């Protein structure tokens, strides 16, 4: 208890003020309430000290999602010129115990930005992905790393290849691939576009009903300002509307419907695709597909 610790004798704690008649007062533990009272007091004094750092560690152990405490911890670390590598090691343990905690990753970003050296970060992030390869906070952090330290050519595509070889349906990995290939902006290299189209086509071959590579293709086509009809042959291969028994992908049907809006001469194929989606391949959204059919007919007319 801080009130019994001589090191805190000079501090008058500031309890939380919930008003005279709190509507829904949170039942904090005595330990947590006392620690926060002492932290408020030193925050009011803008004290950046070893004991301030220690109390933030204590509180984040009880509540690792307390954003304000993490921000104050960062201020203490920078004011004290605390060993940043030591802080990263501390965060490693925290992150592995609290995988979905945004505050930990935001704090890590602040520390890494100040440190200015990403050595070991890719390896630790990979360790996190071994626990959950679709952790949104970790992927956001990895993209920040790539942008902050110009790691576009630092083996990112090769790493994505490994993740997709393990799970071709990992939409997060597909998203990261698009970020790495096109995240720098600028003119689009058509050789790169063709390479990525081939990559997506190979993934579709492995799992035609997997939506991720189809979405990736749509992004590619849009980024390169190419017509949707460029992929017409691919769509017809997996969604031959005249031979429904051979259809293996509803996403191919969806794409054929969109081509119909782009190329009026393919209207009949597009309408057949929408009818198949409504009746057989995605009946839960029958009203949606029928609505699109009406819109297509009106547009062509």
Q: Are residues 261 and 289 in the same domain?
A: yes
Q: Which of 45, 100, 127, 198 is catalytic?
A: 100
Q: Are residues 68 and 23 in the same domain?
A: yes
Answer yes or no: is 146 within a domain: no
Answer yes or no: is 145 within a domain: no
Chain segment 28-64, per-residue pLDDT in tens: 899 999 999 999 999 999 999 999 999 999 999 999 9
17 three-class SS: coil
Q: Are residues 53 and 100 in the same domain?
A: yes
Chain segment 167-186, per-residue pLDDT in tens: 999 999 999 999 999 999 88
Chain segment 2-38, per-residue pLDDT in tens: 999 999 999 999 988 777 777 777 778 999 999 999 9
Instruction: Output 26 or 125, whichever has higher pLDDT.
Output: 125
**pLDDT at 103 (0 to 100):** 97
What is the DSSP secondary structure assignment for residue 230, as one 8-state letter? G
Tell me the residue range of the domain where 258 lies: 237-301
Total domains in the fold of the chain: 3
CB contact at 8 A, 174 and 190 = no
Q: Are residues 9 and 108 in the same domain?
A: yes
Q: Are residues 104 and 11 in the same domain?
A: yes
φ/ψ of residue 268, rounded to 5: -65, -40
φ/ψ of residue 66, rounded to 5: -85, 100
CB contact at 8 A, 80 and 40 = no
Q: Are residues 7 and 109 in the same domain?
A: yes
Bin 105: left if φ > 0, else alpha if -120 < ψ < 50, else beta.
alpha
| CATH number for the domain harbouring residue 78 | 1.25.40.120
Decide which of 226, 252, 279 is a domain's last residue.
Answer: 226
Answer yes or no: is 124 within a domain: no
Q: Are residues 204 and 289 in the same domain?
A: no
pTM: 0.90
Clarify whether 100 is annotated catalytic: yes
- How far apart CA 220 and CA 224 sit, in angstroms, is 6
What is the DSSP secondary structure assignment for residue 101, as one 8-state letter? -
Decide which of 115, 140, 156 is a domain's last residue.
Answer: 115
* pLDDT grade for 68, boundaries at 50, 70 and 90: very high
Q: Are residues 220 and 245 in the same domain?
A: no
- 128-158 core/surface letters (b: 16 or more CB in 10 A; e: else): bbeeebebebbbebbbbbbeebebeeeebee
* Mean pLDDT estimate for the chain: 95
301 three-class SS: coil
Q: Are residues 107 and 37 in the same domain?
A: yes
Q: Are residues 207 and 244 in the same domain?
A: no
């Amino acid at each position: 208890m801080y009130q019994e610790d001589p090191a805190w004798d000079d501090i008058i704690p500031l309890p939380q003020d919930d008003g005279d008649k709190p509507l829904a007062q949170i039942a904090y533990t005595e330990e947590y309430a006392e620690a926060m009272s002492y932290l408020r007091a030193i925050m009011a004094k803008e004290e950046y000290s070893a004991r301030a750092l220690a109390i933030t560690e204590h509180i984040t152990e009880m509540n690792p999602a307390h954003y304000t405490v993490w921000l104050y911890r960062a201020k203490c670390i920078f004011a004290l010129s605390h060993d940043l590598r030591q802080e990263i090691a501390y965060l490693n343990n925290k992150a592995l115990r609290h995988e979905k905690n945004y505050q930990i990753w935001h704090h890590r970003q602040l520390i890494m930005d100040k440190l200015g050296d990403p050595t070991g970060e890719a390896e630790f992030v990979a360790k996190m992905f071994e626990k959950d390869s679709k952790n949104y906070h970790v992927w956001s952090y990895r993209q920040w790393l790539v942008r902050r330290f110009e790691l576009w050519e630092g083996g990112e595509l090769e790493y994505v290849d490994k993740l997709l070889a393990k799970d071709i349906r990992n939409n997060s990995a597909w998203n990261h691939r698009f970020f790495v290939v096109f995240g720098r902006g600028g003119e689009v290299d058509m050789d790169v576009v063709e390479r990525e189209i081939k990559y997506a086509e190979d993934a579709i071959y492995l799992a035609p009903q997997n939506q991720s590579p189809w979405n990736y293709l749509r992004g590619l086509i849009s980024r390169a300002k190419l017509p949707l009809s460029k992929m017409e042959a691919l769509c017809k291969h997996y969604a031959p509307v005249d031979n429904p028994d051979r259809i293996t992908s509803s996403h191919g049907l969806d794409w054929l419907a969109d081509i119909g809006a782009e190329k009026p001469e393919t209207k009949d194929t597009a309408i057949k695709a929408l009818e198949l989606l409504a009746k057989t391949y995605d009946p839960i959204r029958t009203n949606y597909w029928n609505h699109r059919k009406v819109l297509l007919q009106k547009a062509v007319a």
